[in-house]
Structure 1
């Protein structure tokens, strides 16, 4: 400083390594090393095995700040490291392998017992001694506490001043706390150290410059004109000559003194990344989550006694760690083990050993090997094909390449379409052929020969559309006998085998719309995925030579047990991933070719109207209709201009019970039917209204024609009585 009033902070450059604490002195610094390290800058890892502490033939293995003795063929013997009394000067020894010390000793207060950390010992030193084994006598004279030229004599946990004539020591044994003089200013926190102290400067307020210096008494103004780029954070500091300066803390993807060097690069060739280390045996750690969602993930791979994979990103914000399975002994790696480093891929002879056989596609940044940053500029060579600076990516799903028939997946260098059934193709531009069964109540079916075994674990799936609540969908045969039937029962999908009873999915699929039906058979159990049912089916397997009949059975075989033949449309029928198809087959599809009987191509409805007359409020069919379990469904679709006030029909039947007409809309329900040969009317106007029900005074199930009229007494008003004639 101008008046030589600023003490240069020699610790500003952080010279102490391996978590050593730097003690700033006048014109020099001292490093208070953490356990296990020594040297001027704590750069030397102390070899605790050098003194050969293990006896009786036990093997010594060096660790940081400790060692472990292994004895026994399978390391089953717990060596007592405290038996040789390693703690000097009256220090008390505790074994790390003693589970009673965990959650009790301060050093083990937050740790759980594990064999990985069970080696070594902990020394609790008497006051005045320090070090891993309490061998160091703390020099209380180092701070020169004796004044007026007195000489200091170091004692255990104290000191003694020998004063010159005319002076008397105030105390012969003094335990000095450097923080007693309150050296830290501006709200800083003082921490007493060995013959020194450390000031923890307060966090600056919003818009304020922080305090610095030995006593937190200097405003750090080095960031006023900083040049940190790309949103790098400026950290002010004092240099060794008390000059104000700063360093830049860079965001991911940037490095350099001013955060102006990009560390981001990308690969544009197909592939994935696989890393393995071999030393006696192969170690492998696999992260179970997906990381191909286009988001950034921080990945760290370290190896000591185990291969450890750490992933930090979406779903693992605090970091997820995966270790290779099993308990491994220490792996000492020769420097020649890693002669070459491949990034993003490897030569084909190495890629062939990986599960995918491909290289990595995507972006990387901040690549560090042994804590040394590798810049992409250093990686670019002529032989490194596909490596580009930066991370530039095209949105391959922007223009809906899947024709609105599937979900687009951005594969980084191209798109991929996951097509919704029944569509397929690279852009979901193709549709599997649909087929109509029992058109105009004809008997129809298709037959397929199974040419490969599907075993006891198989999936049946298909698209269907029907209004008929009962009917046979598929039936599996072996040697002329059926062993598995899939059919409709009261609008839901059911299964039956000779080994068990009915299994039904509790969801109606006979509403006239297309439904995807999926049934999984897994070693004797049936799963309807939509309903979540999982029930025992018995021993059922699909084998080579079996026959699958779809939609019905050949002539001469009864389908009454299944509610008749299926009436409706089927499409995209699959047994596992193999298509059951009739007619022309597209290239590249795995199919079972079948033959059909009276099955129509496309999805076609019956001609329910012999002659259709269009009216202003809908249409009218001029025909005599014969109803035999083939109900008709009509939808107004908001085409009615006025409410219905009059219903007429002519019927002829001998059935004593049945539904003639049922209509519903919003909350209201109307039903006209036959109950015990009489007409039955039910009217429900919605919540809060009384359900009205009444019958006719005469029977009509006599085989003769009857004209029926149901009308409002006064259609001009919103609420009126109804009359049945």
Structure 2
């Protein structure tokens, strides 16, 4: 530019750059620097960031460079700026968030669903699943389950259909959920069919050409038949058939006579309950049991080579219940195939290829014996089966499954038992096996007996017995030819019925007792021939019967061979196979023998007959099956110190005897009625003797001696034909004062001569002889048996205790017949001959062995008692009591502390000595003055002052006193009291500070506690004085002076600051003088002041002054 165009105009002067870009000049050009979001040489191009559609989920893309939208579109700043114009903002539709609207907002987070509704979130939305009716039966619906549904208020659902209200397009309505057996909008249509036997239902389906090969049958059924026909879809050569076989569902599929599938489900469905089943034929064949009770193996499937063209025509017809047969119906005579029996029961909810079958779908003439509904009757109500029989409902009738031994249609009949051995007769029954019997046998029967032996069952061929079952010791026993014997574990001879079962197989036999398996035995190959004979209860030959358990006595009932009954006495006419049975002494019924005819009850017992047995009602104090045993011990026949012991046919009185060692031996003799063999001796003893005889008996040349030698027990015997002495000795000492139990017996008691065995303390110490000797039968004669010595007048007998000695069950009693109020009834006895009585009551245990004495006491055992010799200081039964040496109050002036065999006195003040009996002389070093006499007291002394002195130590002169009156009647007034005589009435006028009839009492001015702040009060004559703490002053210690010096010092500092020169110094000196005087005054009034104590000491000793008697005591 310029007049001569000499000035260069900058190219940027014309602002060539758009969108607020920065222009930069060059020599012959310029450059535009664009803000982000713009492009082009002059930044004229707005980069389209939304062109790539970055916003997802239907979000709207807004570029930041669109200045006209600022302030209008949420998400953009309030004002447009070029430096922020790059990029875009996504405006997301409801339900989405994120930079690119790629985040699904969880609308369920705010819990929009009310009234228990369950929220399900979807992209950009949510759905509320409203719950069923609440506790009050109210349904909720609407978008958020907030609206009460009332479509069921007047619903039309029939047959117990469940009404479900709904809300559609703002309109309230309802739908019906039908129970099984009904369908239709209002459940008004029945879908149940009843099949009464020999009935079928035929359905024809229209031909359809399906693109997808799929055939389906659903149905529910109810029956008790274990085997029955359900449906057959197809024709003769191509079909799908569903049947019940033994209670299980079986599906068979056949195409062009070629089996394609055979499936079953092992779940019993013949129980009279409803069951649902689904059959599907497609690329696979599926059989599915839909019961909720079926938890496993409920579905079975298999692949099949079936094409649609092969079955499309055949599957146009379906038969339910059975296949028609015969010529009476046009539909019949169509099939000749074998099938299960006709279905008896009910079918419902039949659905074929998704089409529900109702009575309206069944054309006329397409059914036989089929009724609408389910005609089911419970034939088992009310319990037609008797005797606990189990009723089985057969839909059209019932069947009774009877418990043995009952039979008949209603289990009312009972197989008649056979009675064997009535009145001890010998009998048996025989049945031919017959040609109808099988190789494997099961023989069972009920057996009742009280005998321990008897033949039950035997099988015999033409040559020998090869199987036997009999009783041995009351237990079942089984034996076969050339086999081991099997013996049962439990007895069956208690008079009850037991079911016995014998299973016979070719190579083994098994035996059962009721439900208990007793075992088996291996046998050689058994072949049961038709001519073999089954014997029950015995055999024709009595000797052979005795070898095989003897004749059976009891009852046998309900004999069965392979479940075929063999009746002794048939209820109805017997079959031909039982006509040839043989009964020998077998009677009808099961009556027992009357055993009371022989009067078996003793001692007045009353007999009652029970089956093949008797029972006795015994009188009091008798026991035993036949009242043969008397309860002697319940009669209290023994002295109180003895224990009654029942023996055969009687009793004995047992006790422990004490022997003193001086003429205390006792001897016995047999009553000559003892018949049993005497083969053992049993007794107990306790002693500390080391050499003594316990038992001695001699009848030359036989003798028996039991003694203690060198503290060892010694047994010596010579008896029978032996001339040698048999000796047994213990290995351990027995003289320890403890009880020892001894048994000496023959090793072989049934032999005339045997070795002998000695057992001490239950096999703690044993010994067995090597030589043999005879029994003790020589004691049955007139042989004296000495106990505790060998002569009753010996002075060296046993000192200790002996229990009652038992010789082969016969006791040597310490009591004579005169000591026992009831005569002993038993026949065999040893009689006490010696007149000296036995002393009973020996302690059962050696109490001293447990060291019962405490604190060093020494135990002394007297066998009948014991005592503890206690050390000094102890007493009591066990020396457990500490003797209280203080109980005699030995401490005269002190407290006693008990010790062990001693005591200690704690003396009161003023006393000393072992028993505090000495009064301490307190006048030693006394302080009495002015001629006073010291008088000793208890833990102190007093001064007896001279006439003119008083005080504790008589240091003070006594105040004057006055006397008035005459010799006959006078009065002394102390402490300057003025004695007056007014008309013959004598009285004292006391000075201030004194009271009393004679002015003898000094008033205690300190009694009112006049001193404050812990001050100590001194009682003076007619006044008091307070000794103050260091922080207090005043007559009564009422002035607190603890901070006075600080206060005055502060005041002084204030004065110094206000004053000038000499005046300030003078004031300070004056203050110091005042402080010094005040401190001096306070020191003489403190609790502790040596100067004052020194100055006023004489007055201090007079604080307790002036008691009228001249003598004062020191307390």
Normalised by the length of structure 1, the TM-score is 0.60
> Counterparts of 1:53-92 in structure 2 under 5 Å?
none
Say whether 1:277 aligns with 2:262. no
> Counterparts of 1:390-469 in structure 2 under 5 Å?
390-404=373-387, 406-452=389-435, 457-469=440-452
Change (3 A) 1:464 1:190: closer
Change (3 A) 1:565 1:345: same
Alignment-derived partner of residue 255 in structure 1: 183
Q: Is the 8 A contact 2:163 2:175 kept in 1?
A: yes
Say whether 1:212 aligns with 2:141. yes
Alignment-derived partner of residue 312 in structure 1: 291
Please report how far the alpha carbon of residue 365 of structure 1 lies from its aligned counterpart in structure 2 after TM superposition. Answer: 2.7
Change (3 A) 1:518 1:154: farther
Per-residue Cα deviation, 1:412-452 (whole angstroms, up to 9, x for no partner): 21121222223322233443333222333333222222223
Say whether 1:545 aligns with 2:545. no
> Counterparts of 1:631-642 in structure 2 under 5 Å?
633-635=613-615
SS in 2 for 1:367: strand
Q: Is the 8 A contact 2:380 2:391 kept in 1?
A: yes
SS in 2 for 1:440: helix
Alignment-derived partner of residue 517 in structure 2: 532
Alignment-derived partner of residue 1078 in structure 2: none
Q: Is the 8 A contact 1:477 1:484 kept in 2?
A: yes
Alignment-derived partner of residue 365 in structure 1: 348
Please report how far the alpha carbon of residue 403 of structure 1 lies from its aligned counterpart in structure 2 after TM superposition. Answer: 4.1
Q: Is the 8 A contact 2:142 2:167 kept in 1?
A: yes
Say whether 1:174 aligns with 2:101. yes
SS in 1 for 2:314: helix
SS in 1 for 2:341: coil
Please report how far the alpha carbon of residue 542 of structure 1 lies from its aligned counterpart in structure 2 after TM superposition. Answer: 3.1
Say whether 1:597 aligns with 2:560. no
Say whether 1:237 aligns with 2:222. no
Please report how far the alpha carbon of residue 312 of structure 1 lies from its aligned counterpart in structure 2 after TM superposition. Answer: 1.3
Alignment-derived partner of residue 315 in structure 2: 338
Alignment-derived partner of residue 791 in structure 2: none
Change (3 A) 1:440 1:181: closer
Q: Is the 8 A contact 1:505 1:531 kept in 2?
A: no
Q: In 2, Cα distance between the equivalents of 1:494 and 1:545?
A: 25
Q: Is the 8 A contact 1:435 1:603 kept in 2?
A: yes
SS in 1 for 2:423: helix
Alignment-derived partner of residue 818 in structure 2: none
Alignment-derived partner of residue 39 in structure 1: none
Where in structure 1 are there 5+ consecutive unaligned residues? 1-149, 622-629, 648-660, 664-669, 673-678, 684-689, 703-719
Alignment-derived partner of residue 510 in structure 1: 493
Q: In 2, Cα distance between the equivalents of 1:519 and 1:479?
A: 22
Q: In 2, Cα distance between the equivalents of 1:436 and 1:225?
A: 76
Q: Is the 8 A contact 1:577 1:590 kept in 2?
A: no
Moved more, 604-613 or 217-226: 604-613
Match of 2:555 among 569, 581, 592: 569
Change (3 A) 1:610 1:537: same
Q: In 2, Cα distance between the equivalents of 1:250 and 1:473?
A: 65
Q: Which has the larger radius of gyration?
A: 2
Change (3 A) 1:544 1:692: farther
Alignment-derived partner of residue 265 in structure 1: 193
Change (3 A) 1:442 1:451: same
Change (3 A) 1:246 1:423: same
Moved more, 227-236 or 692-701: 692-701
Alignment-derived partner of residue 695 in structure 1: 648
Alignment-derived partner of residue 302 in structure 1: 280
Q: In 1, Cα distance between the equivalents of 2:431 and 2:108?
A: 96
SS in 2 for 1:560: helix
Q: Is the 8 A contact 1:190 1:200 kept in 2?
A: yes
SS in 2 for 1:596: strand
Q: Is the 8 A contact 1:159 1:173 kept in 2?
A: no
Per-residue Cα deviation, 1:660-713 (whole angstroms, up to 9, x for no partner): x537xxxxxx886xxxxxx99999xxxxxx9975224867899xxxxxxxxxxx
Per-residue Cα deviation, 1:186-241 (whole angstroms, up to 9, x for no partner): 345554446654443456642264443445454433223323233322222223x4
Q: In 1, Cα distance between the equivalents of 2:128 and 2:103?
A: 17
Structure with higher helix content: 2
Alignment-derived partner of residue 328 in structure 1: 303
Say whether 1:288 aligns with 2:266. yes
Moved more, 298-307 or 472-481: 298-307
Please report how far the alpha carbon of residue 567 of structure 1 lies from its aligned counterpart in structure 2 after TM superposition. Answer: 1.2
Alignment-derived partner of residue 85 in structure 1: none
Change (3 A) 1:246 1:436: same
Change (3 A) 1:198 1:493: same
Q: In 2, Cα distance between the equivalents of 1:341 and 1:691?
A: 94
Match of 2:566 among 580, 592, 597: 580
Q: In 2, Cα distance between the equivalents of 1:390 and 1:721?
A: 91
SS in 2 for 1:487: strand
Say whether 1:200 aligns with 2:129. yes
Say whether 1:662 aligns with 2:630. no
Please report how far the alpha carbon of residue 606 of structure 1 lies from its aligned counterpart in structure 2 after TM superposition. Answer: 3.7
Change (3 A) 1:201 1:419: closer
Per-residue Cα deviation, 1:527-557 (whole angstroms, up to 9, x for no partner): 5151134434334453433222211112264
Change (3 A) 1:380 1:506: farther
Q: Is the 8 A contact 2:622 2:628 kept in 1?
A: no
Q: Is the 8 A contact 2:392 2:398 kept in 1?
A: yes
Q: In 1, Cα distance between the equivalents of 2:360 and 2:825?
A: 91
Q: Is the 8 A contact 1:526 1:535 kept in 2?
A: yes
Q: In 2, Cα distance between the equivalents of 1:283 and 1:574?
A: 43
Say whether 1:559 aligns with 2:545. yes
Change (3 A) 1:635 1:294: farther
Q: Is the 8 A contact 1:437 1:551 kept in 2?
A: yes
Q: Is the 8 A contact 2:416 2:571 kept in 1?
A: no
Q: Is the 8 A contact 1:283 1:307 kept in 2?
A: no
Alignment-derived partner of residue 29 in structure 1: none
Please report how far the alpha carbon of residue 472 of structure 1 lies from its aligned counterpart in structure 2 after TM superposition. Answer: 0.7
Per-residue Cα deviation, 1:455-508 (whole angstroms, up to 9, x for no partner): 564311112222212111111123412221111222232211134333344443
Please report how far the alpha carbon of residue 512 of structure 1 lies from its aligned counterpart in structure 2 after TM superposition. Answer: 2.4
Change (3 A) 1:235 1:269: same
Q: In 1, Cα distance between the equivalents of 2:676 and 2:418?
A: 38
Normalised by the length of structure 2, the TM-score is 0.40
Where in structure 2 are there 5+ consecutive unaligned residues? 1-48, 74-87, 91-98, 199-224, 231-241, 243-251, 326-332, 635-642, 651-672, 678-821, 828-1115
Q: In 1, Cα distance between the equivalents of 2:53 and 2:155?
A: 48
Number of positions where the alignment pairs a residue of Structure 1 with one of Structure 2: 510
Change (3 A) 1:180 1:607: closer
Q: In 2, Cα distance between the equivalents of 1:181 and 1:394?
A: 54
Instruction: Point out which structure has higher relative CO (alpha carbons under 8 A, 6+ apart).
Output: 1
Per-residue Cα deviation, 1:548-604 (whole angstroms, up to 9, x for no partner): 221111226423343311112222211112233456684585844422333333334
